[in-house]
Amino acid sequence: MIKKSILCPLIVSAGLLACGVNPVTKEREFQFVSQDKEIQIGQQNYSPARQSQGGDYTLDPELTRYVQQVGQRLAAVSDRPDLPYEFVVLNDSVPNAWAMPGGKIAFNRGLLYELNSEAELAAVLGHEIVHAAARHGAKGMERGIFMQGAMLAVGLATRDSNYANLVVGGAQLGGQLITSKYGREAESEADHYGMKYMKLAGYDPAAAVTLQETFVRLSQGKRQDFLSGLFASHPPSQERVDLNEKTLAGLGTGGEMGKEIYAQKVAKLMATREAYKAYDEGKEALQKGDTEKAKTLAKKAISIEPREARFQELLGDIALTKKNTTEALAFYDKAIQMQPDYFKPYVQSGIALFNAGKKEQAESFLKKANALLPTAPGYALLGQIAEGRGETALALQHYQLAASSDSEIGKEAAARAMRLDLPRNPGRYLPAGPLADDTGMVYAAVQNNSNVPVGRVQVRMLQYDSRGRMVNQTRSMLITGGIAPGRRGSVATGVRIIDQADLQFFRVVVEGAELAN
């Protein structure tokens, strides 16, 4: 096995990577992503990632401050206290927590339900702080760059199934960062050093052992919410419990547990748990097409917690499903008034207005939505609005952004983009070349690599000598009759050759193309 201390100089000599010391483990490792880059990545992706995971939980600012205080207490004793750590509570019922490079950490509302003490909260936060401090996210990116030559941003499936796989543009990177599954070594490091941080911050690290034991029991029970959340990226195991017990033996028990203070801080959240349960069941009912059940559940949620914007959104979605545009817009407006910095009611309002033919009004909502979280529906509809105004270049730009989503909307946007761009840049979609039949007649052949049918195609054939100098060219010719996607069309040039090898001296240029009617 090649040691890192030997391999790093070899890579440096190739001008690809730098070799550094991990700030947590103190081991030498490849470091292509600098600390400044880590911080920049975290800052750029923190907000869109939070948007895509339900947005910030804003109804109990004191609870968020509490989580932030515990997080900062742990961050202060970490191996990288200089990172600009941030901690937020997300409005998502799935039990989960995640960390981005640069110390950007999020804690789902749903996970707070499952904890029993401040020390358990510290165990989860300490674990996530280590992921940031030990560069686990950055190292994952470095592996991707080294192995593939480029970092591939995977589309993020948002919690709301109506927006699954619809995040586009630069925001897609956030999805990769928070849904990547850490390896066993990274999880072990996060457990070990997270417990060390707990001890240094005055918490009883025994909470990390009991919490991991709870997670193992929950994983064996196959609780779907955990399986789709925390366990997807942080799989529990008896091995992790055993390692935590070994770490605890070295650190020693003792320290704060904070059961009473935790119960006090989450009391308001716990009092509204049934409201969010009704909301989640209402969304599921709507997805199954049961609008009446969804409406009943949404109203139940509102009766328990009337301040929650998501519950108004659900009523808006129900009304939009029933094509009650005015009613839907009223509910979305309420949601916006309650929480003006969340993307979904804006994009849903834009969709409702667009469908109602009020495209100018729709545009402002769609732009606001994309500023918060760029999505395929937002850009696809903006593309149609721009195209309707004759702003082809802008429409093409919007369609191409929407097309980066692996979804039906993305595919439709790609087709629209191709329809706009193909007549302007036919050579991009219609590769062409010379072919000869058995009699030596040369044809100008065009392959339709687009996903739209093409009508007439205008081509010209150029002839070169052995030195690469053009010696002749045909007049412009038309391939008529249309070319279906994936098929080929051709036209006889009137030129004959004796040897098939002579085809190397001919080149076909596509000068123009029309879309089929």
C-alpha triplet 145, 147, 150: angle, nearest 5°:
35
Band of pLDDT at residue 439, cut at 50, 70 and 90? very high
* Average pLDDT estimate for 398-414: 92
Is pLDDT above 60 for 7? no
User: 216: which DSSP letter?
Assistant: H
Q: Decide which of 166 and 330 is more confident.
A: 330
Average pLDDT, the chain: 88
Q: Which two tokens stand for residue 22?
A: 């991990």
Active site residue 256: no
All structural domains of the chain with their residue ranges: 18-265, 271-421, 427-515
Contact 209, 249 (CB under 8 A): no
How many other C-beta atoms are found inside a 10 Å radius of the C-beta of residue 508? Answer: 24
Q: State residue 295's pLDDT score.
A: 98
* Average pLDDT estimate for 426-434: 96
Band of pLDDT at residue 236, cut at 50, 70 and 90? low
* Average pLDDT estimate for 22-40: 87
Q: State residue 12's pLDDT score.
A: 43
Q: State residue 13's pLDDT score.
A: 39
Catalytic site residue from 38, 128, 142, 313: 128
Q: State residue 151's pLDDT score.
A: 30
* Amino acid occupying residue 158: T
Task: Answer yes or no: CATH 3.30.70 is held by domain 427-515.
Answer: no
Q: State residue 144's pLDDT score.
A: 57
Q: What share of the chain is helix, strand, coil (3-state, %, to 5)?
A: 55, 15, 30
Q: Which two tokens stand for residue 435?
A: 């072919």
Contact 69, 61 (CB under 8 A): no
Q: Which of 152, 419, 400, 124 is nearest to 244 (CA)?
A: 124
* Average pLDDT estimate for 200-227: 79
For the stretch 92-109, pLDDT in tens is 998 889 999 999 999 999
d(CA 122, CA 256): 10
Q: State residue 25's pLDDT score.
A: 86
d(CA 108, CA 90): 5
For the stretch 294-325, pLDDT in tens is 999 999 999 999 999 999 999 999 999 999 99
* Average pLDDT estimate for 34-55: 91
Most confident of 81-90, 226-235, 399-408: 81-90
CATH placement of domain 271-421: 1.25.40.10
d(CA 241, CA 178): 24
List all residues 6 or more positions away from 501 whose beta carbon is below 8 Å from its beta carbon.
none
